[in-house]
Every structure is written in structure tokens, then in C-alpha cells.
Amino acid sequence: MATGWAGDGAVQDQIDATVDDAVKRARSRLPKGAGLTHCEACEAAIPQARRDAVPGVRLCVACQEAHDREEAAFSGYNRRGSKDSQLR
């Protein structure tokens, strides 16, 4: 199928690259090393079960949820780009 200037499979290559970048970014943000016994944001105790489940944990559940909401608000991806921008 003709797609203008884009080669065959170019759209799938772009999708694959986007997914690979997202996976790399997510893996780079995973905590490493020993976890904390108290939250670094609010000093609340982090339960042992959470420390066992999440290696390198640094935040309590409440602070982690707030942190995740902040990051979601600033994701920076334009997932609804126009078709014209994809063909350039």
C-alpha cells in the first residue's frame, strides 16, 4: 500500500520505537538497591510487606500514588496527533 514518502512498515517501526522507548524509560525509573523503612517524603513507616513486594521502595503508598498522579499529568506524549503530522 502506498503511503507517500514513508516506506513500507514505517508506521509500525515508529510504533515499535515508541513502545521500546517507553519500556526503557519505565525500567530506568524502577527503584534499585535496598528499600527504605520510612517514606522519604512524609516519614511514615513503610510496611515490611511493601518493602518485600517492591525492591528499592522509597515512598509509602499514599505518597507513591500522589507521585504517580503528578507524572501522569506531565506525560508529554501526543497520542492524538493528526494524520498530516504522521506523513511528514
The string of pLDDT tens digits covering residues 25-82 is: 988 887 778 889 999 999 999 999 999 988 899 999 999 999 989 888 776 655 555 5
CA distance 46 to 61: 8
List the end-to-end C-alpha distance of the chain, in Å, as a whole number: 17
CA distance 88 to 67: 36
pLDDT tops 80 at residue 87? no
pLDDT confidence bin for 2, thresholds 50/70/90: low
pTM of the model: 0.54
pLDDT tops 80 at residue 86? no
